[in-house]
Amino acid sequence: MAQKRDILDDIIDIQDNWQAVQNPLAGIADSLAQDPSQRKVFDPADYKEKPWCNSSRCLRCSAEREDVCSVCLDVCPTHSIDIHNKSVTITDSCRKCGLCQAACPTEVFNTRRHMAKQLYDNIARAASAYEQCYVTCTRALKRLPKPNEILLPCVGMISRDLWFSILVDYTNVSVYLPLGICDRCRTTTGEDFYTEAIGTAEEWAKSAVGLEVDKDNLTHEFTREYRRSQFVSSAIHATENLVTRSSPKLAGAQAVAKKITDHANRLNELQRQLENAVGAKTTQNRQRILTQNRKLMMGGLQHDLTPTSARPAATAQRPASPMQSTWTITATCTLWRRTA
Ligand code: SF4
Ligand code: SF4
């Protein structure tokens, strides 16, 4: 339901329009003035990283049995993973797609910038400040990402558990992939992997990830709440006495940062409660591992169990995405396919 405008919205519009009238060529002048050597150019390699392996977490290695798990070997499009002598290694043929990272149940594979919690935080930041957040890949976007675009080597780098926790918390996250883009991709297992991950997460969360296929439809507008709190924040700085500084919730950026910190605190508390309940070690004196993905998912489940009346208004009623019809479920209810 559209929110009712008030005088604050009118003032923000007037301020925006006034700035545009005052300096109509600001954007062009800025880009011309920029030192060309300092201008950032799009390089897909900047968004890719070969994972390193923590073999001690591998189920196959610790059980010393091949039938225990082969998920990473099955998903790797280039057969770059070797598991021998209790050690997991990645060869130089790795495409840096990140699928092994999303698939491994014990998070054997790690990268500096694409760990599950970092991905969640990046998406949460964009989804909290912008009308729409887009998750996409380097082949689809082919340019530097805007702040509400999460650019990944492959959309399959987001695991099923991570999609679930995103869906529980945010209703404005879409995948941007032009039609047919995955058909020509050398990450041949990526499309199957992300359709299954998204489909299962949608089924669990009873909510939908949007799908955008046309680059002209990508929007980069701030949310009304964000613009209002930014405006009030700058008013506080300008006048120092309109509202007291003890209202950090009013500042847009601060509010988003606080939301993410609160989320991290909730997850840490959840881990502490679990360790209290079941102990940090197993009966064989092994350290219990709560992976980032599982922690995020449990946080999402905890959130979903919160009574509707106690949740913030934005998530109390989760409407089905307008793009929901573009993901359809097969007869087995396990594998979803994109049909648009
Ligand atoms: S998916 Fe993870 S646990 Fe399974 S074999 Fe590969 S590295 Fe080991
Ligand atoms: S799944 Fe992707 S990132 Fe992982 S080893 Fe294979 S090519 Fe490299």
Give residue-wise pLDDT tens across range 172-200. 999 999 999 999 899 999 999 999 999 99
**Mean predicted confidence (pLDDT) in 57-82:** 95
The predicted-structure confidence for 252-291, as pLDDT tens digits, reads as follows: 777 788 888 888 888 888 777 777 777 767 666 666 677 8
User: What is the predicted pLDDT for the residue at 340?
Assistant: 31
Does 102 contact ligand 1 (Cβ within 6 A)? no
**Mean predicted confidence (pLDDT) in 147-167:** 97
Closest Cα to atom 4, ligand 2: which residue? 100
Q: How far is the CA of 108 from the centre of ligand 1 (A)?
A: 7
Does 99 contact ligand 1 (Cβ within 6 A)? no
User: What is the predicted pLDDT for the residue at 276?
Assistant: 77
User: What is the predicted pLDDT for the residue at 115?
Assistant: 93
Q: Which of 108, 289, 293 to mutate to test the pocket of ligand 1 (most atoms within 8 A of CB)?
A: 108
Q: Which residues contact 32 (CB under 8 A, 6 or more apart)?
A: none
Closest Cα to atom 6, ligand 1: which residue? 72
User: What is the predicted pLDDT for the residue at 170?
Assistant: 95
Does 108 contact ligand 1 (Cβ within 6 A)? yes
- When the pLDDT of each residue in the chain is averaged and rounded to a whole number, the result is 80
Nearest to 189 by CA among 102, 106, 120, 297: 102
Q: How far is the CA of 98 from the centre of ligand 2 (A)?
A: 6
Nearest to 328 by CA among 319, 320, 337: 337
337 has pLDDT over 50: no
Q: Are residues 185 and 215 in the same domain?
A: yes
Q: Are residues 103 and 122 in the same domain?
A: no
Q: Which two tokens stand for residue 186?
A: 């050398």
Q: How far is the CA of 240 from the centre of ligand 2 (A)?
A: 53
User: What is the predicted pLDDT for the residue at 333?
Assistant: 26
Looking up tokens 């996250």, which residue turns up?
173
User: What is the predicted pLDDT for the residue at 197?
Assistant: 97
CB-facing half-sphere around the CA of 167: CA atoms within 13 A: 28
What ligand is nearest to the CA atom of residue 91? Answer: 2
User: What is the predicted pLDDT for the residue at 238?
Assistant: 60
Which of these three, 110, 133, 165, is where a domain ends?
Answer: 110
User: What is the predicted pLDDT for the residue at 298?
Assistant: 77
Give me the domain span that covers residue 54: 47-110
With the CA atoms of 201, 271, 172 and 187 taken in that order, what torsion angle do they form, in degrees rounded to the nearest 10? -50
**Mean predicted confidence (pLDDT) in 309-325:** 40
Q: How far is the CA of 190 from the centre of ligand 2 (A)?
A: 10
The residues lining ligand 2, judged by C-beta closer than 6 Å to any ligand atom, are 51, 75-78, 80-81, 90, 94-100
pLDDT confidence band for 12 (50 / 70 / 90): low
Q: Are residues 333 and 205 in the same domain?
A: yes
| Ligand 2 atom nearest 98 alpha carbon | 3
Contact between 81 and 100 under an 8 Å Cβ cutoff? The reply is: yes
Q: Are residues 201 and 52 in the same domain?
A: no
Closest Cα to atom 8, ligand 2: which residue? 94
Q: Is residue 91 part of a domain?
A: yes
pLDDT confidence band for 221 (50 / 70 / 90): very high
pLDDT, greater one: 289 or 339: 289
Q: Is residue 157 part of a domain?
A: yes
Contact between 230 and 252 under an 8 Å Cβ cutoff? The reply is: yes
Residue 70 belongs to a domain with what CATH number?
3.30.70.20
The predicted-structure confidence for 129-142, as pLDDT tens digits, reads as follows: 999 999 999 999 99
User: What is the predicted pLDDT for the residue at 34?
Assistant: 61
Which of these three, 110, 137, 165, is where a domain ends?
Answer: 110
Q: Is residue 248 part of a domain?
A: no
User: What is the predicted pLDDT for the residue at 21?
Assistant: 59
pLDDT, greater one: 85 or 290: 85
Cα–Cα distances (Å) from 90 to 72, 80, 95, 109, 259, in that order, read: 11, 5, 10, 10, 37
Nearest to 314 by CA among 210, 173, 204, 170: 170
Q: How far is the CA of 77 from the centre of ligand 2 (A)?
A: 7
Which of these three, 64, 94, 110, is where a domain ends?
Answer: 110
